[in-house]
Amino acid sequence: MEIAELGEFGLIRHLTEGMEMENASTLKGVGDDCAVLSPEDGMQTLVTTDMLMEGVHFDLTYMPLKHLGYKAVMVNLSDIYAMNGTPRQITVSMALSKRFSVEDMEDLYSGMRLACSRHHVDIVGGDTTSSLTGLAISITAIGTAAKEDIVYRSGARETDLICVSGNLGAAYMGLQLLEREKAVYNQQVAETREQARRNGSNVDEAIARIPQPDFSGREYLLERQMKPEARRDIVERLHEAGIRPTAMMDISDGLSSELMHICEQSHCGCRIYEERLPLDYQTAVTAEEFNMNVSTCALNGGEDYELLFTVPLTANDAVAALEDIKIIGYITQESLGRALISRDGNEFELKAQGWNPLK
């Protein structure tokens, strides 16, 4: 079905049909000039926003729309958790070119709704409009936290331990795999087309016979790239263990880049250890296959959406006892700089080579 048939308001009504609000603070969702939220007593409001552009942040040749919707929401929720908060509402703006159908938007929205329902978040508004080329998605997430619970980037202090959840570099290696297979496929299509032309056979049928890429054994890397999970579980686990991070942020541009933000805003230095970087087996194997240094992937890969945080030295035992969290180094005086200690004991200055969307 063409989107123009439903119109803007019809489309929004269709996509948000049957959505029930999960948060008591959501007084009014979609349908007026504004959403109306009722702040809880004594709680502060967290606001974050992210914009995803087709061809820059995602490639629909291998990214299913449902996964894209899921990921677009997750990257915003991740920012709320990174402040030690709880996400409550999002607004969703989309600009679509004519090639998208109502069914496409249903797929995209079903991914968004799945992400929201898993994290008990309400979709309270947005804007749906057209674009001359491609798809643009802009999401704003709103969360809450008690004043004393909010964790900024600026709170790290000398001797604090530097911790990372999960493992790093997997989403980046997933992207490499997808990009390689896309190039192989495009090459095969070009060859098949040429051959069919020479033989006088049916081009479309010949292209349809090209085998799909085989990613078996690499599913984990693809999932990390296409369906990242915001680490609500880590925030909850820290809370239950009575550990309050001194500084925290989520890893979207790569560990190095994020750690440098914390050092800059906390006016401190750091020492992290290459041998302590958390890596998944598939990440290591695939990096080797691509002739890449796996530590570089972990340091600069980006899109991990893991949490990077610091805790007081006194929390050492409590943090070490928690699953899926790794201590990778510690905070130093600012004058000592930002150091990476390699496996062979050499010291390197940490450099941010994270993703720069403007380059």
Site residues (CB under 8 A) for a copy of itself, limited to 238-267: 249-250, 265
- Which is closer to a copy of itself, CB of 32 or CB of 204? 32
Q: Does residue 340 interact with a copy of itself by CB under 8 A? A: no
Query: Which strands sit side by side in the sheet containing 347-349, from one edge to the other?
Result: 247-250, 307-311, 161-165, 325-332, 269-273, 338-341, 347-349
Rounded CA separation 14/10 (Å): 6
Say how far apart CA 57 and CA 172 lie, in whole Å: 13
Going 93 to 31 to 90 to 43, the CA torsion angle's sign is positive
Closer CB to a copy of itself, 9 or 348, in the complex: 9
Shortest reach from residue 169's CB to a copy of itself, in Å:
21
> How far apart (Å, rounded) are the C-alpha atoms in residues 84 and 323?
18
* Position 83, amino acid: M
Binding marks (x or -) toward a copy of itself, 280..309, rule CB under 8 A?
------------------------------
CB of 133: closest distance to a copy of itself in angstroms?
5
Stretch that binds a copy of itself, among 110-118, 142-150, 176-184, 286-294 (CB under 8 A): 142-150
Residue 215: CB partners within 8 Å, gap ≥ 6?
177, 181, 222
Count of residues touching a copy of itself (by CB under 8 A): 71
Nearer to a copy of itself, 57 or 338 (CB): 57
How long a stretch of residues is the chain?
359
Question: Which residue, 159 or 265, is less far from a copy of itself as judged by CB?
Answer: 265
Binding to a copy of itself, residues 146-205 (CB under 8 A): 147, 150, 152-154
Residues in region 122-141 near a copy of itself by CB under 8 A: 124-134, 136, 138, 140
Token reading at 64 = 């299913």
Identify residues 70-99 at the interface with a copy of itself (CB under 8 A).
79-80, 82-83, 85, 89, 91, 93-96
What's the Cα-to-Cα distance from 67 to each of 7, 60, 101, rounded to whole Å? 25, 10, 17
Residues 34-63 as x/- pattern, contact with a copy of itself by CB under 8 A: xxxxxx-x-xxxxxxxxx-xxxxx------
Stretch (H or E) spanning 330: strand 325-332
Cα–Cα distance measured from residue 27 to residue 127, given in angstroms and rounded to the nearest whole number: 19
Q: How far is the CB of 127 from a copy of itself (least distance, A)?
A: 5
Give the binding range for a copy of itself (CB under 8 A) out of 120-128, 166-174, 230-238, 322-330.
120-128
3-state secondary structure of 29: coil
Query: Closest CB to a copy of itself among 258 and 274?
Result: 258
